[in-house]
């Protein structure tokens, strides 16, 4: 299976449309969303094309292809609009014996890993993309498709057959690591 790894949409319909286009062009099977889907958050400005209702409609149309976790800007009210679960703090994705911990990043992240062994820890939250191997695991921060920080472009990733790839939202490959 091929998984799209994305975080921090923050209510931007134009960003989500590009994510869905990338998802289709890459022939992904599942979209893994690491939180902050509908709400832009009080520390961010208003995103371009803020439209949480339309985002919910677009994602609900593909609900059977989505795995998501709760971000610090997601709430029970957001869950009421979405037809797939978003309120868990993490999901353990097991693919061909490889374990990927999917989380938002406000609880678990590279400086605070959960107990256990994981081949990769995938998160967002900081809006700064990162892909690196540590002594413990592979760290993948997907950045943000709406509010990238640090002069970075909007970013997202894919996981397939033991390989994580990070891309700019326009499709340019930035980095890849084999687990």
Listed by start position, the domains of the chain span 2-178
Average the pLDDT over 147-175 and give the result. 98
φ and ψ of 72, to 5 deg? -70, -15
Instruction: Assign 166 a pLDDT band (cuts: 50, 70, 90).
Output: very high
Query: What's the confidence (pLDDT) of residue 8?
Result: 98
| Total residues found in the chain within this entry | 179
**Distance separating the N- and C-terminal Cα atoms of the chain:** 15
Which tokens hold the place of 67? Answer: 């795995």
- Quote the Cα angle for 82-122-83, to 5°: 10
CA 76 to chain centre: 19
CATH architecture of 2-178: 4-Layer Sandwich (3.60)
Average the pLDDT over 154-174 and give the result. 98
Tell me the average pLDDT of the chain. Answer: 97
Q: Compute the half-sphere exposure of residue 127: CA atoms within 13 Å on the CB side of its CA.
A: 19
**Burial of 27 from C-beta contacts in 10 A (0-12 / 13-18 / 19+):** exposed
Query: What's the confidence (pLDDT) of residue 162?
Result: 97
- pLDDT tens for 87-146 read 999 999 999 999 999 999 999 999 999 999 999 999 999 999 999 999 999 999 999 999
Would the pTM count as exceeding 0.75? yes
- pLDDT tens for 66-95 read 999 999 999 999 999 999 999 999 999 999
- From CA 85, how far away is CA 35, in angstroms rounded? 11
Whether the CB-CB separation of 47 and 75 falls below 8 Å is answered with no
Which tokens hold the place of 1? Answer: 């299976």
């Amino acid at each position: 299976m091929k998984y799209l790894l994305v975080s921090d949409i923050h209510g931007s319909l134009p960003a989500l449309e590009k994510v869905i286009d990338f998802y289709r062009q890459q022939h992904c099977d599942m979209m893994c969303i690491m939180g902050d889907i509908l709400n832009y958050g009080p520390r961010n400005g208003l995103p371009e094309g803020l439209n949480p209702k339309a985002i919910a409609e677009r994602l609900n149309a593909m609900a059977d292809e989505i795995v998501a976790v709760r971000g610090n800007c997601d709430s029970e009210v957001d869950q009421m609009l979405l037809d797939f679960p978003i309120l868990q703090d993490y999901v353990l994705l097991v693919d061909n014996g490889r374990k990927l911990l999917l989380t938002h990043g406000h609880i678990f992240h590279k400086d605070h890993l959960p107990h256990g062994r994981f081949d990769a820890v995938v998160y967002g939250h900081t809006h700064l993309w990162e892909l690196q191997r540590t002594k413990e695991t592979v760290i993948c921060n997907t950045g943000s498709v709406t509010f990238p920080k640090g002069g970075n472009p909007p970013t997202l990733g894919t996981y397939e057959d033991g390989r994580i790839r990070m891309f700019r939202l326009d499709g340019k490959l930035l980095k890849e690591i084999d687990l």
